[in-house]
Amino acid sequence: MRRKASLVLLAFAVFFTALSPLMRFYAFPRLAKIPPSQYQEMVLEVKPATLIDYGTMKAKKVDKLTIVQTLKGNVEESDKIEKRVGKDVVVWDALVHVVGPDGKMVSQIPERYIFDAHSSEPVNAKGEMVDGKPVKREGIEFKWPFLTEKRDYAYYDARSGTTSPIHYKGTKDFRGVEVYYFEQTIPWTEVDVPNTLPVKGITPESVRKTGTKFWYTTVRKFWIEPTTGAPVYGEEIHREEMRGGTLLEGSGQDKVTAFAGHAKIRDDYVDYTVDLVSSQRVLVLLLTSYLPWGFLGLGAVLLTLSLVLEARSRRPGEPEEHSAPEPEPVNV
Amino acid sequence: MRALIAATVGLVAALALVLTMSAVGAPPGETSPKPLLTTVPEHP
């Protein structure tokens, strides 16, 4: 009986011990992925902000601008692209909608971001765009890979259409969560005229005809929870100017600030994001740490029990389970 | 010999479980019916 029990324990010991590395190194890279149906909204505020008045073509100060960013997973599109490229893909339709203090739209930029569900690397496929223009991204955007490393990453800047490093600047504590802090500076760069402008009658084409150019610079800051690769907080010091051309002739300046301000995530969204990322972190840790180490420990305990039972079943002085019966004396 | 068989059974069961889990994966879900926002939400 003891021998049977020790064999069963041995089978379970091998089962759990084998499960430990298989879970971490085989299952985790395949199971940890961003769901294609994710829907997420984020609100950032700029207090105060500088904004162009298209009536006078002069910059004016406003108390507050609000940036509403929505990311919506497009499951149908990701299915189509997955079939073509043969890997798990996420398609995010995103909209950055900027609202002025009067509640009216200031600018609106749609995006379609296509990326690998496991590595967060961009997947170049038909439909990828920023503000209606087809693009071919290089580098991550919005989301870092699972198990983010303490190093620089190539990051895609949608406004300028360029990729440059976003630098790892240290590990910090953000509201009780250990995060990696990243920062990227985009130097003054000429950018396209936005497709959606807030004043009727002014179109991108009419602005281009005046010879006036849009220039932009930004400092982008992200606080990334490294296990999930998800941002728990972000800030952007953004500055945009209109330069030259006949559009500015009346203002008496050769350049005017179109937008300037320091955007920060609204406090209630910071709390919401920290809670969300903390719960997701536990799921990732289950696959990378809790279950593999737990299984390894359980395997060791079961192996020890199995060996103890086996040793007891062989102890001298105790009858062997399957020993042959003693021969009886034969009377002649 | 019986110990070897028991160990093999454990190993094969672990491989089968992990391969099945990885092959099945998580369901993709559906595209959210919620729109891309053009108004400021009151709260998350």
What are the pLDDT digits (tens) for A66-107? Answer: 999 999 999 999 999 999 999 999 999 999 999 998 889 999
Nearest neighbour of A66 by CB, restricted to B28, B40, B44: B40
Distance between start and end Cα atoms, chain B: 62
Nearest CA-CA distance, residue A176 and chain B, Å: 20
A interface test, pick of B2, B32, B34 with most A CB neighbours within 10 Å? B32
Percentage of chain A with pLDDT > 70?
95
Q: What is the pLDDT of residues A196-242, one digit of tens each?
A: 888 877 888 888 888 999 999 999 999 999 999 999 999 999 999 99
Tokens of A133: 């223009």
DSSP, collapsed to helix, strand or coil, labels residue A250 as helix
Flag whether pLDDT at B23 surpasses 80.
yes
* Interface contact flag, A37 B32, Cβ < 8 Å: yes
pLDDT band at A55 (very low <50, low <70, confident <90, very high): confident
DSSP one-letter string for B1-44: -HHHHHHHHHHHHHHHHHHHHHHH--------SSPPP-S--S--
The pLDDT value given to residue A327: 61
pLDDT of residue A252: 77
| Tokens 């990378």 belong to residue | A288
Residue A326, pLDDT > 70, answer: no
Q: Is the pLDDT of residue A259 over 60?
A: yes
The rounded distance, in Å, linking the Cα atoms of A270 and A44 is 10
Q: Enter the pTM of the model.
A: 0.89
Task: Check whether A164 has a pLDDT greater than 70.
Answer: yes
| Bridge partners of residue A231, in order along the sequence | A224
For residue A246, the model assigns a pLDDT of 83
> With contact defined as beta carbons under 8 Å apart, do A264 and A235 qualify?
yes
- Rounded Cα–Cα distance for residues A119 and A323 (Å): 60
> Which chain A residues are within 8 Å of B10, Cβ to Cβ?
10-15, 18
ipTM of this predicted structure: 0.92
In this prediction, residues A145-166 reach a mean pLDDT of 97
